A and B are shown apart, each in its own frame.
Chain A
């Protein structure tokens, strides 16, 4: 069949490559297909978004459930909200840690709720059928406007209300959606009468945004409140007296079919114990010099806060 040794070898390599590609396809499909083994009726599959804090929370939920005799499977780093919520709806995951304000905004684009209680109340109406949020934690990871210490002192700015005093043009370093979100550029204008322009930096208040604020490319930076870099760089988080920024309490979003009394009880206890300070510390361990893995960070928190 084959003319020479060489072509036989080539055919073999090709076949091996095709096999590899095929196996990659099938495992890739499994991640999002609803009939995967991990979704069997007594296992709770807990997922996470593609960033450290979400993975830590996923591990806390999962390990706490396991410690109380619930079978758990993990699917970390699924991506952004539109992707992992799809995964939740098609049954590839059953549970994911969420942020109340952004979750509400996703399902109800016209919502104007900003306080923790209003947002939580809005969530129960907005969520699709068959899914529910359990008790929300007081722990929050919300957007926040930050300035450098020098800027704060120079203009005597401690709150968003004080920004009116600044006569220099203001630029904000934030994700591109800041251009249109109610808590972004439009909100600054309508709630505080401050005109600012956006420098879009797509790293969600990460190191690029921090660098832009530090070197003066931007005067304001949108950084999540649980980011250790705020404290590390001595940034000043501006107060928001008019509740421009929606609350972002940590809340477990779960498929109602998997929300047994035991699961609910465990996760509600976790939410009760968790604080914003805990999140800052855990993110510090995860992102700082020690680079502790999310599962180890979660394990340590659960040792200090046993969930029984």
Chain B
């Protein structure tokens, strides 16, 4: 308990809130690094995931490869890439964390598209939409909550794991952990961790809001009517016009 109090004391200390190694500067670096990583991972993973989900091809390969990527230890990869390229900037951790963020985003993209009900897709084709139109007007909007969910889970991992990059002379919130461990400054270590946790929670909350907002109006409208009619209609999930049984 005293440790936690000391950690909050460290966070509250005004001397830790100024300068290039203060909390705002480190937090800013951490957010920029994380956004950059997510952007890179999304640019790579979303098109591949959509292609797999839309076509239904190479799913097994994607599951296998992204599963294997998840197993890569990020810290080891950071050190390996830094030694391989003799580059001690944010580039090695940026690559390593992009690799970490790809699997959840990829999984969100293809499983999102797969989860779309076949009926609206068939209907869209039936009225003459092209494959591209089916994707942009039907599949993508209906799958967005799951797609965003993938980015959300990748984002949490990225925010938490960027801390290990501070083994190199880079900024971010990991500095507090590595610098604190080096001098057994436990309030700094715990305080830094608390800020990482807070950032992750805020980011998760923002993603949750986005996830709700992107649900297409039609889907939401249907949901509202369902709940307004109460349990009766839920108990009879028979589509209109179905032959009586």
Contacts and interface: CB of A to CB of B under 8 A. Distances in A.
Given A80-B181, A200-B175, 16 more contacts: A173-B169, A176-B182, A199-B169, A200-B166, A200-B178, A200-B182, A201-B168, A202-B166, A203-B167, A207-B83, A208-B83, A208-B88, A208-B168, A211-B82, A211-B88, A217-B88
Contacts of B169: 173, 199-201, 212, 217
A100 interface: no
A42 interface: no
A215 B86 contact: yes
For the residues of A in contact with B, the DSSP-based class is mixed
Contacts of A82: 184
Interface in B1-25: none
Contacts of A80: 181
Interface of B: 79, 82-83, 86, 88, 166-169, 175, 178-179, 181-184
Contacts of A180: 183
Nearest to A201: B169
Given A173-B169, A199-B169, A202-B167, A208 B183 contact: no
Contact of B167 (A201, A214, A215): A201
Contacts of A202: 166-167, 178, 182
A214 B182 contact: no
Contacts of B168: 201, 208
Contacts of B79: 203, 208
A187 B168 CA distance: 23
Interface string A193-221: 00000011111000110011011010000
Contact of A176 (B82, B83, B88, B178): B178
Interface string A236-256: 000000000000000000000
Nearest to B82: A208
Contacts, number: 50
A179 B179 contact: yes
Contacts of B82: 208, 211
B89 to A, nearest CB: 9
A211 B86 contact: yes
26 contacts: A173-B169, A175-B182, A176-B175, A176-B178, A176-B182, A177-B182, A177-B183, A179-B179, A199-B169, A200-B169, A200-B175, A200-B178, A200-B179, A200-B182, A201-B167, A201-B168, A201-B169, A202-B166, A207-B83, A208-B79, A208-B167, A208-B168, A211-B82, A212-B169, A214-B86, A215-B86
Contacts of B182: 175-177, 200, 202
B179 A176 contact: yes
Instruction: Give 4 nearest A-B pairs by CB, closest first.
Output: A199-B169, A176-B182, A177-B182, A176-B179
Nearest to A217: B88
A175 B79 CA distance: 15
Given A200-B169, A201-B88, A201-B168, A211 B83 contact: yes
Residue of B82, B168, B182, B184 contacting most chain A CB atoms (<10 Å): B182
Contacts of B181: 80, 176
Interface in A150-178: 173, 175-177
A54 B33 CA distance: 36
Contacts of B178: 176, 200, 202
A215 B89 CA distance: 12
A146 to B, nearest CB: 16
A229 B83 CA distance: 14
Contacts of A175: 182
B142 to A, nearest CB: 32
A212 B167 contact: no
Contacts of A208: 79, 82-83, 88, 167-168
A180 B167 CA distance: 18
A70 to B, nearest CB: 33
A67 B166 CA distance: 44
Contacts of A211: 82-83, 86, 88
A176 B183 CA distance: 8
A208 B182 CA distance: 17
Contacts of B183: 176-177, 180
B87 to A, nearest CB: 8
